[in-house]
Amino acid sequence: MLFYNLFLYILFPFAILRLFSKKEFNISELPRIKERFGKVNLENNFQEKPIWIHAVSVGEVKVASLLVKEIKKRHPNIKIFLTVSTLTGSRQLKKLYDNDLEHQYLPYDLNIFVKRFLLSIKPKCLILIETEIWPNLINNCVKQNIPIALLNGRLSEKSLKKYQRFETFFKKIFSQLSLVISQSQKDSDNFVIAGVIPQKVFFDHSLKFSDLVSPNDSKKIYKADEKKEKKIIVCASTHPKEEIFLINTYKKLNDSNFHLVLIPRHPHRSEEVQNILEDNKVTYAKFSNVLDLSYEMTLVDKMGLVESFFKVADIAFMGGTLIPHGGQNFLEAVKHGLPIYSGASTYNFSAIVEDLQRLKILNIIETESDLASAWRNFSYNSDLKNRSNDYLLSRQGSVERSIEKLLPLIEA
């Protein structure tokens, strides 16, 4: 641990500078910096040991909300405390719970901050969503007899190789996890290789399946001209370099019967994407209240609208797949019975991607010309929605099963 901690102390000033340099950072965040140093908000009353759930950002917060609902159903009076790592995750928590559920930022993984934090909240157990491996956090929890569960876990071959560069160090860290429930059998195997005790590793379907068959309150998208018939291609959660690929694909498509919607993963990139659109001399509008199909493209610079656009879409393209990022969540597009296209980088959702390809819901295409051709030859398949819905229904119940395995930690 000595070299790891020395490395963290060297990185610490740069972590602070990076925090200030983020485009979404604003002056209102300044008072909250102390949270990242392990300071717990005074209004948080921890007379009772809480269940502590850590969710990195927006996607993990949505998963955490499913766990909170199920835990509260079984134990209405139990105290739950949530932490996040990002501003967008914090905003999502505020939107979901306001002040009804205590939450703040996870401290940096320095011993002094982690110890201060744990001393303040004294959690009954820690639940990590997906793969958040912080050595000092895990070590200090174990020293204080705080069991740690990792839910919805995923560990790709790429990530496993990174941990194996320091195999002895990370095997000890992984071996301290009390429970791991992974998203696929392959993920389970990788966790065991990483060092988790085999008897503590289980496989279940992604927790993200659990809220996809019920209706939600997503915003309705209105078209400026309801009579204007255009096929709408929604490109969701795009990353740098992907927008230019998609714009070029649209140009190769060369069909005014299609309208392209670009939804960057990070809304603060909208100005950057806007410049790309202008450089490529395509007509576009920034989305406000209605979808104006008189333009070639629409740029969405707000969060929380992906599913709303999927409701009016004819085709979905998932971002994070044209660069080595591993993809974004495919399941919201599946919920709406859409034909889905993506690039080849899908390792974050390998099991789901295999299923979707087998069911002919997802098409992986790597070149602009091939994607343009696929969109041009697109025709609606009435059976696609049924296949999508049947697939989602077959994957239900993972939240309830995960809670059953968590009960010994929660009720201890």
Over the chain, what is the mean pLDDT?
91
Average pLDDT over residues 199-223: 80
- CA-to-CA dists, residue 140 to 27, 115, 146, 186, angstroms: 32, 7, 8, 29
pLDDT at 214: 53
pLDDT at 123: 94
Confidence of residue 18 (pLDDT cuts 50, 70, 90): confident
What per-residue confidence (pLDDT) applies to 312?
93
Q: What is the mean pLDDT of residues 294-307?
A: 92
pLDDT band at 255 (very low <50, low <70, confident <90, very high): very high
Per-residue confidence at 44, pLDDT binned at 50, 70, 90? low
pTM assigned to the model = 0.89
Between 28 and 64, the more confident residue is 64
Please state, for a pLDDT cut of 70, what percent of the chain lies above it. 96
In this prediction, residue 16 carries a pLDDT of 87
Residue 25 has pLDDT above 80, yes or no: no
Cβ neighbours of 49 (radius 10 Å): 16
- Residue 88 — pLDDT band, cuts 50, 70, 90? confident
Distance CA 288, CA 26 (A): 23
pLDDT digits (tens, 9 = 90+) for 215-243: 565 678 877 765 568 999 999 999 999 99
- The ranges assigned to domains in the chain are 22-213+396-410, 222-393
For residue 288, with 0-12 CB atoms within 10 Å meaning exposed, 13-18 middle and 19 or more buried, which class applies? exposed
CATH topology of domain 22-213+396-410: Rossmann fold (3.40.50)
Higher local confidence (pLDDT), 144 or 45: 144
pLDDT of residue 29: 81
Picking from 64, 58, 357, 408, the residue whose alpha carbon sits closest to that of residue 207 is 64
CB atoms < 10 A from the CB of 322, how many? 25
User: How confident is the model at residue 99, as a pLDDT?
Assistant: 81
SS3 41: coil
| Segment holding 194, helix H or strand E | helix 185-194
Dihedral sign, Cα of residue 266, residue 271, residue 274, residue 279: negative
Whole-number pLDDT of residue 215: 53
> How far is the CA of 272 from the CAs of 92, 240, 259, 300, in angstroms?
24, 9, 20, 12
Q: What is the mean pLDDT of residues 361-370?
A: 96
Asked if pLDDT for residue 308 goes beyond 70, the answer is: yes
Domains 22-213+396-410 and 222-393 alike in fold: yes
- Find residue 112's DSSP bridge partners: none
CATH fourth-level superfamily of 222-393: Glycogen Phosphorylase B; (3.40.50.2000)
Mean pLDDT of 357-374: 96
Least confident span in 68-77, 317-326, 375-384: 375-384
Between 154 and 215, where is the model more confident? Answer: 154
pLDDT score of 226 = 56
Q: Given pLDDT bands bounded at 50, 70 and 90, which one contains residue 59?
A: confident
The position carrying tokens 């604003």 is 26
Q: What distance in Å separates the CA atoms of residue 303 and residue 109, rounded to the nearest whole number?
A: 28
Q: What is the mean pLDDT of residues 76-82?
A: 93
Taking alpha carbons only, the member of 327, 273, 331, 275 closest to residue 307 is 331
Does residue 45 carry a pLDDT above 60?
Answer: no
The pLDDT score that the predictor gives to residue 221 is 85
For helices 135-143 and 111-121, give the axis angle rounded to 10 degrees: 40
